[in-house]
Amino acid sequence: MTGLVYLHGFSSSPRGNKGTFTRLWAEQRGILFHAPDLNLPAFGTLTLTAQVDAVEALLLGLAEPPVLVGSSLGGFIATAVAQRGGRIRSMILLAPAIRFARRRLISPSWAGYRERGEMEVFHHGVGRPLRLGPELLQDLPTWADDDCWRIQVPTVILHGRRDEAVPLAESEAYRDRNPGTVLHVLEDDHGLLSTASLDCLQSELGSAFR
């Protein structure tokens, strides 16, 4: 049976709003569901490499290629796994953090982190600020070339026109360099929790499992 794998975003957890929505959708239909905790090795020592390795290991243990749903940074991780040849049936990316590494290496809002090698980040999964150490900063250059990737996995993107965290232009550019990608531009912000956005997600989940 084809399973459903949900990948959560940065400073979040599998128990967030979209993760819960996706899990309930799968459970109601008897679909095998996985939502790994991607705060790896721990949030304070987080690296993209550890996240990608964990998802690849999960996929290797599945009998059939799953549908991947990736939210924000989880969307970037999904594309990284796809680029490295992971067995994936299709992807649904929710405001994916395309070019996450490159943008963090130049973003003014992360300048303090680049200078000091640590910062406090509010973690929505635990409901309080946590320290982020230098490991992520050291790992970012490894993943800074994703605008050169060409992804063959069938992909649908949902992105809010009012997204304050990831520019809509990133998803538009991804669509343009990966022919066959479908982009839904929604009247929403980064959370994609409006009724229309969740209806669109539900429709795309249904299409992915037909």
CATH fold of 4-208: Rossmann fold (3.40.50)
Q: Give Cβ neighbours of residue 12 (< 8 Å, ≥ 6 apart).
A: 19, 71, 72, 123, 124, 125
Q: How far apart are CA 111 and CA 8, in angstroms?
A: 25
- 18-76 confidence digits (pLDDT tens): 999 999 999 999 999 999 999 999 999 999 999 999 999 999 999 999 999 999 999 99
pLDDT of residue 136: 98
Q: Residue 1 pLDDT more than 90?
A: no
- 108-125 confidence digits (pLDDT tens): 999 999 999 999 999 999
| Mean pLDDT, residues 178-205 taken together | 97
For residue 137, name the pLDDT band (cuts at 50, 70, 90): very high
pTM: 0.97
H or E stretch including 5? strand 4-7
Whether 120 and 146 have beta carbons less than 8 Å apart is answered as: no
How long is the chain? 210
| Mean pLDDT, residues 96-116 taken together | 96
